[in-house]
Amino acid sequence: MLINYEFNEDKIQSPLQYTWSIFKRNNIAIAAMWVAIILVMIVIFAGYILPNTPTTQVKQLLLPPYWIDGGVSDHFLGTDDLGRDTLTRLIQGIQLTLGGALLLTLIVSILGTIIGATAALTKGLKASILHHFLDALLIIPTLLSALILIAIFGPSYENCLIAVSLSLLPQFIRAIYINIENELNKQYIIALRLDGAANIRLLRFGIFPNILESMVSLLNRIFSLAILEISTLGFLGFGTQFWDVELGALIASSIGLIFSSPWLVLFPGIAIFIIVLVFNVFTEGLRHAVIEGEDE
Amino acid sequence: MLNYISRRLNLLLINAFILTIIAFLLAQWSNGQSLTDTNYIIDYVKYISAILQGDWGSSIDNRLILQQGLTAFASTLELCIISFITAALIAIPLGIFAGFYPNHFLDYCIMTIALIGLAIPIFWLAVITTMLPRLTGITLPIDGGISPIFEVPVVSGFMLIDTLLAEDLYQLNAFYDRLAHLFLPSIVLSFFLIAEIIRLTRRSITTVMKSNYIKAAYANGLSKTRLVLHHVLKNALPSIIHQLRLQLSTIISFAMVIEIVFSLPGAGVWLLNSIKEEDYLALPAAVLIISGFILLFSIFIDIFLMIISPLKRKSLYVD
Amino acid sequence: MRFLFTIAMTLLLYGCYKNESVITDTLIYCSEAYPQSFNSQISHDISTLDATTHQLYNRLVKFDASGESFIPDLATHWQQSDDKLSFTFFLRKNVNFQHTDYFTPTRFFNADDVIFSFQRMLEINTPYNSINRAGDSYFYNHPFTNLVADVIKIDDYTVKFILNEPDVTLLANLAAHYGVIISKQYGEKLLSIGHPEKIDYYPIGTGPYQFKNANKRTGIIRYNAHPQYWGVRPSIKNLIFEVTTNKTKRHSKLLSGECDIITYPEPSQLDKMAANPKIKLHRTATDNLALWSFNTVAAQFNNKNIRQAFSYAIDQKTIIEAIFFQSGNATSSLLAEQSWAYNPKRITLQYNPQLALEMLKNNNFDFNKTITILTSIENSVFNPNFHKTAELIQINLFDIGIKSEIISLLPAALEKRLASGHYDTYLTGINMPMNDPDSLFRPLLSCDATVAEGNSSQWCSKRVQTLLDSALLESNFIKRIMSYYKLQEITQQDRPYYPIAHVLRVDASNQNISGLRVDPLTGIDFQYIRKTEVN
C-alpha cells in the first residue's frame, strides 16, 4: 500500500488518493482527462465563449477554414452556406450533444443503480418479473426503441434524450444487478450480513467499493452509447429537427455541401470522435488505476 | 442438459410473451385505440391469434406488413452477415496476436485501431464513405440495394441468394451488382465489428493466457502455434461468441443506420419511411421481427455454447 | 494472406461489376419524387407529369418545340366553327392502345376514347368522375369545365367540342397535361371487374412507352417501349425511373453512370457541372415560383402595410445566392417574365430594413410576439432548401427585432397544420400547370381555392375575385391581358405573397445521351432520346 519509497513513515493514503496517484502516472490518461475537463467546461460555459453569435450572418458564404486558401482569421473553421461561423455552431453542437449525454449518463446511472440494487437485494416474484421484463427490453435494439419512443412522443431534442435514456436504462440496470448479485455470494458479504449490516450499509461499504472497476467501464460504455445515439438520432432528423445544432443534425444539414465544402461534414464528425475517444481513454486509465490499486 | 434446454425454452416463452405485449400495446396505440375502455385481454388474444395466422395488417399503401418486414430484415441480415464474415477474417488473427503479445508495440497499434473504430460515429463514417467513389474515381455504387435494371423476384429475401436463383434471367450480373452495392456499406459496418472483435478477442485471450493450465501447457514445452490452436482459442472462443451475441442488437442498430445513409433497402429504411409516413403499424412488426430474431438467435447460441462449454449450464438468465 | 485474399476478391468483384451506362437500350432517369398517380388528368405534381404525359399518353394536340403554335398529336387536323363556339377534331386512325399483361385492347383508338377521357372531367354523373379524386385539385374542373359545354361524337374519327363562350384557350387546354387520352375499353373492363381505381395506377394509353411495374417503396418505375406505337418509336427499350431524393447522391450517380439523366442537381454544384465536359446540362425557364405567403387571416398580417414592411425586410439577393445559386431567378412578380400576361410595369422588391422598421412601428406591430414560419422538411422543385431559406428569413427578421420560429414539418403533419390555419407565414412554392395566368392566380388568390390548392395566404377579396372571373371569360385578348396587369398591380400593393424566385428546371445527362426534351409545363419527354456507348 505504500507509495512513497523514500520515507516509510509516510502516512497511509486513502483509497481515493491512492487510485489518483496511480492514475497520475499514466500520461495519456492525464492528457485525456484535461481534454475531457476542457470539453465539459465548453459545455457549461458555451454561452460565454462563443466567438460569434450564431445568427451572425456575414456576407461570406461557405468560407473554408483559416488554414486553407481563402479562409479568414475571423472564422477559424470557416462558415456554412448561410454564412454562419462553423466554430460557433460546433461549440453549440458540443454543448447539446455532450451536455445531453452527460446529463443522461448521470440520470441513467442514478436511476439504474437504485433500481438495480433494489432488485438485487429483493428476492421472489417482483425481482423475477423485473428480470424478465429487462430481458425482453434488452433484446430490442436501442435504435428501434428510440425510434418507437420518438414516434410516440414526437420528435424534439428533449424527447430524443428521454428516448435514449430509456433505451440505455435496461442495460445499466442489468449490469448493476449482475455485478451486485455476484458480490452478494461472496463470503465477506455474508460475513457482513452476519454482523447484522443493513442493506444500505451492505451496499455502501461492502459492495460498491468492490464493483467500482466494472462501474467505471459501465459508465463509460453508457456514455459512449449515449453520445453516439443522440447524434445518430439527430442525424436522422428525429432528435433536433434541424433548428438546433446538435452535432448529428449539423452533419445531416451539411450533407448537400459535402463536395463543395467537406469540412462542414468533417468537423462535427471529428468532434464526436474526439469526445468519445477522450472519455474512453480517460476512463480506461481510471479503470486501470482502480485495478492496480486493488491488486497491490 | 435437458434441464438447461427446458429452462432456456421457458425463458424464450416468457420473453416472447413480453415482446408480444409490447407489440400489442404499440399496435393499439398506432390504431389510435385506448386501452381503458375495452377488455384488453380479449383484444390481446385476438391480436396474438391474428399474428400467429400471419395476418399482421397492411401498411398505408396496402402492402402486407409481415412480408414487407421480413424482406426488409432479411436484407439487413445479409449486410450483417457479410460484414461479420469480413470482420472475423481480419479481426480474429489481429486480436489473437494482440492478446498473445500484450504490451508489444504491435499490440498497442492494434488496440489503437480498435479504440478508434469504437469511437467513430458509424453514420458519419458511412457519409464519408459515400464520398469515396467520386473522389477516387472508382465506380462503386453508393445508393440503393441493386441496380433497377435487374428485376429479381423475391424468394428468400436474401438478395444475394435471390440473384443466384434468378441466374437464368441475368446470368451472374445481378449477383455481382448486388455484391457491389453491398461492398461499401459492409466495409463501414465491418469497421465497427473489427474493432469490437479485436477488443473481445484480445481480452478473452489474455484471460485465458493468465490461467494456470496454459502456463502448465507452456511449461510442458508445447509450441506456440499448437498452444493457440488447441488450447487458447478453444477456451477463448466461447466467451468471444457470448460477448458478440450480446452485441447483436447494437450491430443490427448500426446496420440499420448504415442502410439509411446508403439508401440500401432494409429494416432501417423501412422503419424510417414508415415513421415519416406516420404508418406506425410497422413499429410493432419491427419489434416482433427484429427482437424475435435476436431472441431466437440468442437461445440458439446459448445452446451451442452450452454444448461446447459446460460451465455455461448454470446461468439462468440471458445475460 | 487473408488481406491478399480480400484484395483479390475486391478486384474480382470490380472486374465483374458492370455499370448501367454500358447498356444502351436501357435508360435510367433519377427523379426527385414518386408520382402521385400515373394519370396526369388527376395529378398535377411535376413527378406525375414527368412520368406520364409524354411517356404513356398522347393528347389531341400538342405544342411545337418553340411552344408557340399547336401541332397534331392524336388529332390530325381541326377546324374552328364560324361562330367560334365549337371546334371539330379529326382523329388519327390505326392508333394502338398499349398491350400489357393486365389489359389487351381489341380495337384501335377512336372518338369514344376521346369522349370517355373528357367526360371524366365534365360529367359529374359518369362513374369515373369521382374515382381517385382525393389528391385532385380544382384544375380538374376549372378552367376546362367552365370552357367546354359538351364533347360530341360525329363519327368514329371525328369529335366536336362545344364551348360555353367563344374562347381561344381550348387548344392550350387540350395540349395541357390533363388533356391526355385514356382507353374507354379499359375503363369499362375495370368497372366490370369492380376495380375502377386501377385506371390511374395501372395506366393504359397510346404513348411511346408502356407501363411495366412500379413500386412506391423502392421508388422504381419501369416502362417498356410500346411496340405498336403509331409515331416515331423510341430507341430505348427499357425506361426506368428511379426516385433518388438526395440531390448529392443523384449527382454522384450521374457521374458514376448509375443514372443516365438526373433532375434538379444540387444547386451549389451547378457551376462545377457546367464545367464538366462529360455532362450536359438542360436548363429551362419555368413558371414555377418559390414564394413566402402571409396568412392574411392571422392577426397583424391582415394589415397590408405590415405585409409590405415584411417584404422590405427580406434580403432576396442573399437568398438567391445562398440557396438557389444559378437554379432560380430573383423575381418581384408572381408571374414569370416569359408569360404573355406579364406586367412589365412591376414594383421591384427592395431590401430596406430601415423602411421596414419604420413601417412596422407606424402600424403598431407587436414586436414581442413570435411569428411562425411554417415550411416543409422535404424539399421540392420549388425550393432547393426550404429550411435554410426560412433560416435566412429568420435572420433578416431578427435584424429588425422580429422574433420568429421556424416550424418544419413532414408532409402529413404539414397538411394538418395548414388546414388548421394556425400559422403566420408559410414558405412554399407553386407551379403553373398550363400556360395561362389563370392557372397561377386562381389557386393563389381565389376565394374558392383552399390552402392545400395554393391559397396559403387565405386571400379573399371581392375585387380580385371579380377580376379573376371576368378575365377568364373575357374573349378579347387585349382586355384579358389588361385584367391580368391590373391583378398583378393589386397583388403587389396588397402583398399577400412575397415572390422569391422563379426556379429553373434543371436536368443533367451524361454525354452519351441525346435527344432529351424538357417541356417546363407538361414534363420531360423521352420519346426521341438516344443512348450511345460511352467511348
As a three-state string, the secondary structure of C78-128 is EEECCCCCEEEEEECCCCCCCCECCECCCCCCCHHHHHHHHHHHHCCCCHH
C-alpha cell at B162: 435471390
DSSP C234: P
| Domain shared by B284 and B268, yes or no | no
β-strands C425-430, C279-294 pairing: antiparallel
pLDDT for B34 equals 60
Partner A contacted by B92 (CB < 8 A): no
For the domain covering C285-505, report its CATH number: 3.10.105.10
Range of the domain at B300: 1-54+280-319
Which residue carries 423602411 as its cell?
C355
- Give the number of other CB atoms < 10 A from CB of residue A232: 27
Chains near C (3 or more Cβ pairs under 8 Å): A, B
| Domain shared by B272 and B155, yes or no | yes
pLDDT for B307 equals 80
Given a cut of 60, whether residue C236 has pLDDT beyond it is: yes
For the domain covering C22-260+512-531, report its CATH number: 3.90.76.10
| C524: nearest Cα among C220, C124, C209 | C209
pLDDT for B110 equals 86
Q: What is the mean pLDDT of residues B212-227?
A: 79
CA distance B171 to chain A (A): 36
Distant-in-sequence, close-in-space partners of A160: CB < 8 Å, separation ≥ 6: A100, A146, A150, A230, A233, A234, A238, A239, A240
| Domain shared by B227 and B111, yes or no | yes
Check whether the bond before C143 is cis (ω within 30° of 0).
yes
Given a cut of 90, whether residue B188 has pLDDT beyond it is: yes
| Residue of C13, C28, C252 with shortest CB distance to B134 | C252
Mean residue pLDDT across chain B = 84
Burial category of B65 from C-beta neighbours within 10 Å (exposed 0-12, middle 13-18, buried 19 and up): buried
Q: Is residue B187 part of a domain?
A: yes
Query: Which residues pair with residue C498 across a beta bridge?
Result: C292
| Domain shared by B287 and B164, yes or no | no
| Residue of C268, C377, C387 with shortest CB distance to A257 | C268
Which region holds residue B207: left if phi is over 0, alpha if psi is between -120 and 50, else beta? alpha
Which region holds residue C84: left if phi is over 0, alpha if psi is between -120 and 50, else beta? left
Q: Is residue B17 part of a domain?
A: yes
| Domain shared by B158 and B267, yes or no | yes
Interface subset of B 43-62, CB within 8 angstroms of A: none
Helix B233-262 crosses helix B267-276 at what angle (to 10 degrees)?
A: 40
Mean residue pLDDT across chain C = 86
Kindly identify which residue of chain B lies nearest to residue A177, measuring between CA atoms.
B319
pLDDT for C15 equals 59
Asked if B62 and B254 touch (Cβ cutoff 8 Å), the reply is no
| Domain shared by B144 and B257, yes or no | yes
Q: What is the mean pLDDT of residues C145-167?
A: 87
Q: Is residue B59 part of a domain?
A: no
Length of chain B: 319
C285-340: pLDDT as tens digits: 888 899 999 999 988 888 889 999 999 999 998 889 888 888 888 888 888 888 88
| Residue of C17, C253, C410 with shortest CB distance to B276 | C410
pLDDT band (50, 70, 90) for residue B317: very low
Convert C476-496 to b/e letters by CB count within 10 Å (16 or more is b). eeeebbebbbebbebbbebbb
Given a cut of 50, whether residue C173 has pLDDT beyond it is: yes
Give B-chain residues touching A232 at CB under 8 angstroms.
121-123, 257
Asked if C441 and C468 touch (Cβ cutoff 8 Å), the reply is yes
Interface subset of A 6-65, CB within 8 angstroms of C: 55, 57, 59, 61-62
B269-283: pLDDT as tens digits: 999 888 888 888 889
| B242: nearest Cα among B302, B192, B286 | B302
Separation of alpha carbons C294 and C498, rounded Å: 8
pLDDT for C162 equals 92
Partner B contacted by A151 (CB < 8 A): yes
Length of chain C: 535
Residue C208's alpha-carbon distances to A24, A125, C96, C214, in angstroms, are 78, 71, 10, 17
β-strands C425-430, C371-376 pairing: parallel
| B156: nearest Cα among B147, B166, B171 | B166
pLDDT for B231 equals 77
Partner A contacted by B257 (CB < 8 A): yes
Kindly identify which residue of chain C lies nearest to residue A55, measuring between CA atoms.
C395
Report which of residues B57 and C13 the model is more confident about.
B57
Asked if B186 and B77 touch (Cβ cutoff 8 Å), the reply is no
Kindly identify which residue of chain A lies nearest to residue C392, measuring between CA atoms.
A82
Count Cβ–Cβ pairs < 8 Å, chain A vs chain C: 47
Q: Is residue B60 part of a domain?
A: no
- pTM beyond 0.80: the answer is yes
C-alpha cell at C349: 422588391
Which residue carries 465544402 as its cell?
A261
pLDDT band (50, 70, 90) for residue B314: low
Question: Which long-range CB contacts under 8 A does B218-226 form with residues at least 24 apart?
Answer: B224/B100
Partner A contacted by B123 (CB < 8 A): yes
Best of B73, B112, B127, B251 to disrupt the A interface (most A CBs within 10 Å) is: B127
Give the side-chain half-sphere CA count within 13 A for B137. Answer: 0
Helix A212-236 crosses helix A247-254 at what angle (to 10 degrees)?
A: 30
Given a cut of 80, whether residue C277 has pLDDT beyond it is: yes
| Domain shared by B49 and B3, yes or no | yes
Mean pLDDT check: name the lowest of B17-21, B210-214, C522-526. B210-214
Query: Which residues pair with residue C380 across a beta bridge?
Result: C383
Last residue of a domain, one of B262, B277, B292: B277
The ipTM (two decimal places) reads: 0.85
Given a cut of 90, whether residue A3 has pLDDT beyond it is: no
Kindly identify which residue of chain B lies nearest to residue A255, measuring between CA atoms.
B127
Query: Which residues pair with residue C16 across a beta bridge?
Result: none
C462-488: pLDDT as tens digits: 999 999 888 877 767 788 889 999 999
Burial category of B116 from C-beta neighbours within 10 Å (exposed 0-12, middle 13-18, buried 19 and up): middle
Listed ranges B112-116, B215-219, B228-232; the one with the highest mean pLDDT = B112-116
Given a cut of 80, whether residue A244 has pLDDT beyond it is: no
Separation of alpha carbons B158 and B72, rounded Å: 9
Partner B contacted by C134 (CB < 8 A): no
Partner A contacted by C391 (CB < 8 A): yes
A142-165: pLDDT as tens digits: 888 888 888 888 778 888 888 888
pLDDT for C201 equals 92
Residue C206's alpha-carbon distances to C128, C229, C478, C525, in angstroms, are 19, 7, 38, 14
Count of structural domains within chain B: 2
pLDDT for B316 equals 46
Give B-chain residues touching A266 at CB under 8 angstroms.
128
| C505: nearest Cα among C219, C251, C253, C265 | C265
Separation of alpha carbons C445 and C455, rounded Å: 6
B121 vs A152: CB contact, 8 Å cut-off?
Answer: no
Give C-chain residues touching A253 at CB under 8 angstroms.
387-388
pLDDT for A239 equals 54
pLDDT band (50, 70, 90) for residue C269: confident
C266 vs A255: CB contact, 8 Å cut-off?
Answer: no
Given a cut of 70, whether residue C63 has pLDDT beyond it is: yes
A94-111: pLDDT as tens digits: 998 999 999 999 999 999
Separation of alpha carbons C89 and C115, rounded Å: 12
Asked if B146 and B181 touch (Cβ cutoff 8 Å), the reply is yes
Partner B contacted by C23 (CB < 8 A): yes
pLDDT band (50, 70, 90) for residue C216: confident
Q: What is the mean pLDDT of residues B98-111?
A: 83
Distant-in-sequence, close-in-space partners of A118: CB < 8 Å, separation ≥ 6: none
Distant-in-sequence, close-in-space partners of B81: CB < 8 Å, separation ≥ 6: none
Separation of alpha carbons C328 and C242, rounded Å: 25
Give C-chain residues touching B149 at CB under 8 angstroms.
20, 23, 26, 28, 238, 240
| Domain shared by B234 and B101, yes or no | yes
The gap between the terminal CA atoms of chain A, to the nearest Å, is 7
Which residue carries 455485478 as its cell?
A179
Q: What is the mean pLDDT of residues C503-509?
A: 91
Interface subset of B 168-187, CB within 8 angstroms of C: 172-173, 176-177, 179-180, 183
C377 vs A260: CB contact, 8 Å cut-off?
Answer: no
Percent of chain C scoring above 90 in pLDDT = 39
| A267: nearest Cα among A280, A250, A282, A253 | A250
pLDDT for C9 equals 63
Q: What residue ranges do the domains of chain C occupy? A: 22-260+512-531, 285-505
Listed ranges A180-189, C17-26, C199-208; the one with the highest mean pLDDT = C199-208
pLDDT band (50, 70, 90) for residue C56: very high
B166: amino acid identity, one letter? A
β-strands C328-330, C261-263 pairing: unpaired
| Domain shared by B287 and B269, yes or no | no
| Domain shared by B108 and B195, yes or no | yes
Partner B contacted by A116 (CB < 8 A): no
Given a cut of 50, whether residue B319 has pLDDT beyond it is: no
Q: What is the mean pLDDT of residues B213-219?
A: 81
pLDDT for C280 equals 92
| Residue of B86, B143, B172 with shortest CB distance to C253 | B143
C-alpha cell at C99: 398491350
| Domain shared by B129 and B231, yes or no | yes
Three-state SS for chain B is CHHHHHHHHHHHHHHHHHHHHHHHHHHHHHCCCCCCCCCHHHHHHHHHHHHHCCCCCECCCCCEHHHHHHHHHHHHHHHHHHHHHHHHHHHHHHHHHHHHCCCCHHHHHHHHHHHHHHHCCHHHHHHHHHHHHHHHCCCCCCCCCCCCCCCCCCCCCCHHHHHHHCHHHHCCHHHHHHHHHHHHHHHHHHHHHHHHHHHHHHHHHHHHHHCHHHHHHHHCCCCHHHHHHHHHHHHHHHHHHHHHHHHHHHHHHHHHHHHHHHCCCCHHHHHHHHHHCCCCCHHHHHHHHHHHHHHHHHHHHHHHHHHHCHHHHHCCCCC
Convert C269-307 to b/e letters by CB count within 10 Å (16 or more is b). bbeebeeeeebbebeeebbbbbbbbbbbebebbebeebb
B257 vs A228: CB contact, 8 Å cut-off?
Answer: no
C416-452: pLDDT as tens digits: 899 888 999 999 998 877 777 888 888 899 888 888 8
| Domain shared by B197 and B107, yes or no | yes
B19-30: pLDDT as tens digits: 898 888 888 888
